[in-house]
Each structure stands twice: as C-alpha cells, then as structure tokens.
A and B are shown apart, each in its own frame.
Chain A
Amino acid sequence: MPTMLEVSGLGHTYKTKDGVHNAIGDVSFTVNAGELVCVVGPSGCGKSTLLRTISGLITPTVGEVLLHGDPVRGVPADLAVVFQDYSRSLFPWLSVQRNVEFPLRTRVSARAERRERAREALEWVGLSAAGGKYPWQLSGGMQQRVAIARALASRPSLLLMDEPFASVDAQTRFELEDLLLRVRAEHDSTVLLVTHDIDESVYLGDRVLVLSKSPGSITTDLDVNLPDERDQITTRASSEFVELRSEVARLLHGGEPATRPSPSVPDTAANDRFLAAERAETHSTSDT
C-alpha cells in the first residue's frame, strides 16, 4: 500500500503569556492509503495539536509532515477535518445543503456540480431529506453527520477527525462509528482519527497509535487484528477486542509494550479506572 501520510519528528511548543508549553514531544508515524488509524491518548496530551499541525492549520515547531510525499505548508487542498464540536463548526446561517457545499466553493466552479456533490455526500451519511433544514434544527448526532458529509464532499485523500463522536450520547456514538466504518469501506477513504476513548480506538482502527501523557509522543503502534466486518455487540464482546483494549489501557498507563502479541490476563480494572478518569476530565472541560 502506498504511504499517504508521513509524520517525522513532529513537535509543537505553544508560546503563551506565562512562558512556553510543550504540547507534543516527538511524534513519528506513517498512514498508508486506505487505512483507518486511531490515535488514542488522555485529554490534554496534544491530540488536537497533532491534528492541527498535520492539517497545516498551525506550523509545527519541529519536524515534518509529508502528504503524498509532499511537505505540508499551509492547508493542503485534498485534506478535510471534522472537529469534535459539531454545533460550533457548522454554519447556522446556511442550510445543511449549503454547509456541505461550503468546501466545494473554492474548488468546484460549476454551481450545479457543487449541488450534486453535496447532495451525494448527504446521501452517504443518510441525510438526503435534511438538505433544506438548518443545522440548529437537527439533533447532535445528525449535526455531526452533516459535518462528516461536509468533509467527504470535497473527496479528500486524507480525512482527519478530532474526537468526532465525543460529544454525542452512547447510542448515537455507536451509530456514527458504524456509519464511519461503512462510509470508509465504500469509498476506500484514508482516515486519521484521534480519540480519548480506548474502546472506540480499537473498534474503529486498523491500527492504534498510543500517545503518552503531555507532551505527547507515540509509545506504541498497535495492529488491530480484528475482522474488517465489525459489529457493536459481537466485536466488542470478542476476546480479541477485550485483549486489545486492555493492552491499550495498560500502555496508556505507562506500561511497556507486550513482548507477546497479546497479554493472557486482561487488565480490565486498569482500563475502567482510566475511562472513569477520562470521563471526569472531559466533563469538567466541556462544562466550562
């Protein structure tokens, strides 16, 4: 498989009023075309910063990002980002259809083609009927589907997703996860998704990259050897899944990568503790 994205020695330091803040340390990895790679790490470890540097929204302090082998300077045209906060990322003064057309306005000059491609993207996410509505008339899950359609409409070669399902309820999250798996299978998309949710990273990913605590750096690159066809009930109950999530949880807690492919005794207690701590943190940040 050809390499789509190559990140080498990436680091970013924010300059703030009270000094400097090292958000990501030293990150290197590659993403091949057609892969769905999840980056998992605790809140504040620099996941958003990582995506923002890869998307060219901010220039990294050190290191390099190559997309199709070309260095990323500024925002590349064939890349799209889905942000966590759908309610703030959609434009309330534009209809759903117009929101999805938005990225095409700079790239597709024919109005009719823009409309057609937006309509198509809405169909992919099962929102054909909602084109005339406004974002604020839709539920949270539907809004995030609009954001996904908007990202897909420009047919990016790389889709970046920043905790895309973190702000919806559990039931909707499962639906959206399956929607993402279906869409990427249908379109052979290459996706880099960051999340703090261990289960989500394992459920969605072909590979899981584990980020250490701030300043983040990748401690492990884990292959997810689950079947391509995944199911919220059976996959999550399978012993392979349980072992993988325990391994990821262990690694997040600073454990050494297992020498054997999977540990024999799953450390579910550590995983649950981690998840509980994560939830507490996400809630306190989203409340502010």
Chain B
Amino acid sequence: MRPVTRGLVGLAVFLLIWEVVGRSGITERRFLPPPSDVLGSLGEILVDGKFQSDVVATVLALVVSVAIAVLIAVPLGLLLGSFPVARHATRAVVEFLRPIPSVAFIPLAVVMLGVGPETKITLAVYAAVWPILFNTIYALDEVEDLHLETARAFGYSRVRTILSISLPSAVPFVLTGVRLASSIGLVVLISTEMIAGGRLGIGTFINVAREGAGRMDLLLAATVVAGAIGYLVNAAFDVAQRRWVSWSSLTRSAS
C-alpha cells in the first residue's frame, strides 16, 4: 500500500470506531458527538462569517509570529553558531529559558500586554524562536569544512563567508526549524486564545462553543479546522523543502 492509502485507511478506521462509540450510547451524544454530526457542524461553521474571521485572525497571527521568529532566530543563530564566544556567554540564559513552556507566560503576558493580538503573538514568537534558533546553530556545526576552506582560499572574509557559505548551507535546517516553529506556534496561539480570551481566533471560538453553548459538535468541528491548518502548513513546507533545497537531501543521501 502507498503511504497515502495507508494513512487514509487509518483515518477511516479511526472515524468508524468514533462513529460507533458515538452512536452506541456508551457516551452521551451531546459530549461525544459522532463524526457524522461533527461533519454537519463543520459545514455549518465553514460558511459562518464569524468563524471565518476567527480562522483568518489565527492564521494571520501565525504568519506574523513565525516571520518575527525567523527575523530574530536566524541572525541570532548565525551569530551564536559562528562565534563560539557568543554561544558560551549565552548558554546559561538559553538553557534556563528553553524548558519553560510558553503557556506558563500567559498570565504574565496578559498583565503586561492585555488581551489583544500582541499577547498571543508575543507568546507564539517566544515559542517559535527556539526550534529555528537551535536548527540554525546546529546547521552551522554541520557546514562542510571544505566549503569554508574553499571560501577562505578564494580570499573571502569571515563575514562574507558566513553570508555566502554558512547561510545557504543552513537553509535546509532552518526550513525544518520554521516548520516545527509553525506547528508549535499554532498550538500556542490557540491555547492563548482559549486561556486569555481575546476578541477573535479559533481558540476564542472553541471557548465560546464550550462555555456558552456547550456545543461539543462545534468545538470538535473547530478543532478539525485547526488540525487541517496545521496539516496544510506542514505540507506546504514539505513542498518548499523539496523544491528549494532538494540539493541538500540529494547530496546527503549520496554521501
């Protein structure tokens, strides 16, 4: 079986079990509506203007967060990866901050920034910086010595070598980092929307569906949409990696 077929079969089996359990009466249908109910609700919310603006708000926040994270993490990664002194000097701070989940900062962020979009974006940026930063630093350790030496033999300065050798060599790893950052960023955005409220966002919609109306079907439908966004973002990066940095996998598998 091809991987796609296998994936679809797995999904179908999962949905079937859920449908049977949902309809069997083991659980209350109101709390665990079967997929057929959720599908109906999904069709309902997809044409709902309010939900559409929630989705746009979350996706826009994701794009902005990941863009800011790239602008912070890539230059920082190049700096820390190229100059061991800088890396040693910052190690303690980095090792202290890294394990703290960004949702732990939600109360602090709300107090400092309020409940506007800047709060969730700040937290998502914080979460998204790490995978990009670490992938960039790791990538610089993996830069082919002979490439660096070749640049030096042709009279390239240190800075010029970083820009014309280290940076392009790092792109495949950076893309992997951005891919991870996008998934993590989406989770943080929706979590923050759910916990801190705010006016727009998929998380806000889920919150309202749960607390106000107790509509589990709407909640699950919105969750499916969030999952689909995550899936599409991941697939987009897959295509980008295959198209732009095919040289990386090709050269690596050849060696």
Interface residues of A (CB under 8 A from B): 55, 57, 75, 77, 79-81, 83, 85, 87-89, 91-94, 102-103, 105-107, 134, 136, 154
Contact = CB atoms under 8 A, between A and B. Distances in A.
A89 B150 contact: yes
A136 B250 contact: yes
A102 B154 contact: yes
A57 B144 contact: no
B149 interface: yes
Contact of B147 (A75, A81, A88): A88
B255 A91 contact: no
A55 B150 CA distance: 11
Contacts of B149: 57, 83
Given A83-B146, A85-B146, A136-B254, A92 B156 contact: no
Contacts of A79: 153
Nearest to B254: A136
Contacts of B147: 88-89, 91
Interface string B166-202: 0011010000000000000000000000000000000
Majority SS of interface residues in chain B?
A: helix
Interface residues of B, number: 24
B152 interface: yes
A92 B248 contact: yes
Contacts of A80: 153-154
Contacts of A88: 144, 146-147, 255
A88 B150 CA distance: 10
Given A88-B144, A89-B146, A75 B153 contact: yes
In the complex, which of the residues A77, A88, A92, A134 has the most CB atoms of chain B within 10 Å of its own CB atom? Answer: A92
B203 to A, nearest CB: 39
A174 B248 CA distance: 31
Contacts of A103: 154-155
CB-CB nearest 8 A-B residue pairs: A103-B154, A92-B247, A88-B146, A81-B153, A93-B168, A92-B251, A89-B146, A106-B155
B220 to A, nearest CB: 44
B98 interface: no
Contact of A87 (B152, B164, B171, B255): B255
A92 B155 CA distance: 20
B110 interface: no
Contacts of B248: 92
Contacts, number: 59
A258 B73 CA distance: 65
A77 B156 CA distance: 10
B152 A57 contact: yes
A106 B156 contact: yes
B171 A93 contact: yes
A97 B254 CA distance: 22
Contacts of B151: 102
A106 B160 contact: yes
Nearest to B247: A92
Given A75-B153, A87-B251, A93-B168, 19 more contacts: A57-B149, A57-B153, A75-B155, A77-B155, A79-B153, A81-B150, A83-B149, A83-B150, A85-B146, A91-B147, A91-B168, A92-B248, A93-B169, A102-B150, A102-B154, A105-B164, A136-B250, A136-B251, A154-B154
Contacts of B156: 106
B146 A93 contact: no
A80 B151 CA distance: 11
A89 B154 CA distance: 12
Contacts of A105: 164
Interface string B127-167: 00000000000000000101101111111100010001100
A77 B146 CA distance: 19
Nearest to A94: B168
A186 B171 CA distance: 40
A105 B245 CA distance: 23
A106 B156 CA distance: 7
Nearest to B251: A92
Contacts of B164: 102, 105
A155 to B, nearest CB: 13
10 contacts: A57-B152, A75-B152, A85-B146, A88-B144, A89-B146, A89-B147, A93-B171, A102-B151, A103-B154, A154-B154
Contacts of A89: 146-147, 150
In the complex, which of the residues A55, A57, A94, A102 has the most CB atoms of chain B within 10 Å of its own CB atom? Answer: A102
Contacts of A57: 149, 152-153
